[in-house]
Structure 1
Amino acid sequence: MNAKPGDWLIVEIAGTDNATRRAKILEVGSPDGAPPFKVRWLDTDREGLLFPGVDARVLTREELDALDTLTAERATVVQRHIAHRRGTS
């Protein structure tokens, strides 16, 4: 897993209330972008040094924006479907 400062680390945590965590990558451990990464967690604003596990992935800002757009579009479709079903019940 390689990254550059400004990329985002997404950690999918199965079986917890906080299913996804995001951290902005501030520094990388080597010139080729390999871990460890110094990150700032979005949910706590805390910084730390991290060796990502198998539940993590790195996204560029553009990839993260695209993911957020897709997620919002899916949520809108689900909400419309629910509203339609309530209106026809």
Structure 2
Amino acid sequence: MHAAKGDHLVQHGRVVGQHDQVTEVVEVLGQGGDPPYRVRFADGREAVMSPGPDCEVRHPQDRTQQ
């Protein structure tokens, strides 16, 4: 998984009724776009995240095509 500043991480809900959680990558802490990432939640909180297999990266060009 590779991400850059401004990309969105989408963590898919794992149980029925649980919504996807979308965060914005504000800093890449790994080398070459690798995790961990500092992310910002919609409410302004920030955290360091190493995404698992239930996550996907959405690049800005991908979001404009949806």
Task: Please report the TM-score for the alignment, with normalisation by the length of structure 1.
Answer: 0.66
Q: Please say which structure displays the higher CA radius of gyration.
A: 1
Deviating above 3 A after TM superposition, structure 1's stretches of 4 or more consecutive aligned residues are none
Give ranges in structure 1 of 5+ residues lacking alignment.
Answer: 68-89
Q: CA RMSD in A?
A: 1.4
Alignment of 1:1-89 (within 5 A): 1-15=1-15, 17-42=17-42, 44-67=43-66
More helix by share: 1
In the aligned structure 1, how far is the partner of 2:17 from the partner of 2:44? 19
In the aligned structure 2, how far is the partner of 1:54 from the partner of 1:39? 17
Partner SS state of residue 32, structure 1: helix
How many residue pairs get matched? 66
In the aligned structure 2, how far is the partner of 1:18 from the partner of 1:41? 16
Q: Which has the higher contact order (CA 8 A, sep 6+)?
A: 2
More strand by share: 2
Deviation at 1:37, TM superposition (A): 0.3
Give ranges in structure 2 of 5+ residues lacking alignment.
Answer: none
